Amino acid sequence: MSEKLILDGNVVANAVKNELKGRISTLKQNGITPCLATILVGDDSSSATYVKMKGNACAKLGIESRKIHLDKETTTEQLLETINALNNDKDVHGILLQHPVPSHIDERKAFEAIKIDKDVDGVTSFGYGQTALGFGKYPSCTPAAIMKIMEHYGLEASGKHAVVVGRSPILGKPVSALLLNKDATVTTCHSRTLHVEEYVKQADIVIAAVGKPNFIQGDWIKPGAVILDAGYNKGNIGDVDYEACLENASAITPVPGGVGPVTISMLLKHTVDSAEAVNV
């Protein structure tokens, strides 16, 4: 078995955060502290953990983390009022509404209420459209992380066949657009795709974003393929059968420690980008 390139997300995330330190210092010298507001609705323990992780990451870099925790009985209208208040707060540079929200809330309507220049998590349809057209400022953070990992390790997309397994609006669809904008030939597979394995077997680049543990099998992988596993399931298991897929892959992200850390670092980067845009 030839030597494999393990795509270490912690290394990439640290590189991103180290680059941000000087920029944050400059902003503070100009009287601006980058600020990310996170909105958590309800009592979902996983969501609370994610919000805490993002807050800790902000604190380590000197980014202000403003946490808004709303009761699970919060209505769509009340959530929209909270978002609009943050939209109008000049000291807030990024707004993140933690997914999922309680089922009685119109989540899409809430996402769309986020002001485009504060949509640092890339959840609005306006932001998605800009990303697809190639000039979006803040792509969804997990797709942005995937592209950053490829950039860091010098993995070329141009001319390659990328197969994206998953079509969610904040992962599968935007990463397909980002890869297409980097001149990859992109196939997007999903729950209605027949014989998914036949498409994956043709892939130079495999993006796993389906939300099913160990879904991508080792004998689906073309020798030399690059695998980026954006899945995270119970038990720290990705969407890729890691050990089996490692046999044929030339490069692969582990779970945990792959795409996840970079996703958070891209959220921080987008928040700093937004703060700098105000400072221009």
Residues recognised as catalytic: 54, 98, 121
- Alpha-carbon distance of 125 to 170, in angstroms, equals 10
Residue type, 257: G
Cis peptide before 139 (omega within 30 of 0): no
SS3 248: coil
Buried b (16+ CB within 10 A) or exposed e, 73-83: ebebeebbebb
Q: Is the dihedral of CA 24, 26, 29, 34 positive or negative?
A: negative
- Alpha-carbon distance of 144 to 131, in angstroms, equals 10
Q: Which residues contact 159 (CB under 8 A, 6 or more apart)?
A: 183, 184, 185
DSSP code for 100? P
Q: Which residues contact 203 (CB under 8 A, 6 or more apart)?
A: 161, 162, 163, 187, 221, 222, 225
Q: Which residues contact 274 (CB under 8 A, 6 or more apart)?
A: 34, 93, 94, 117, 118, 120, 137, 138
SS3 206: strand
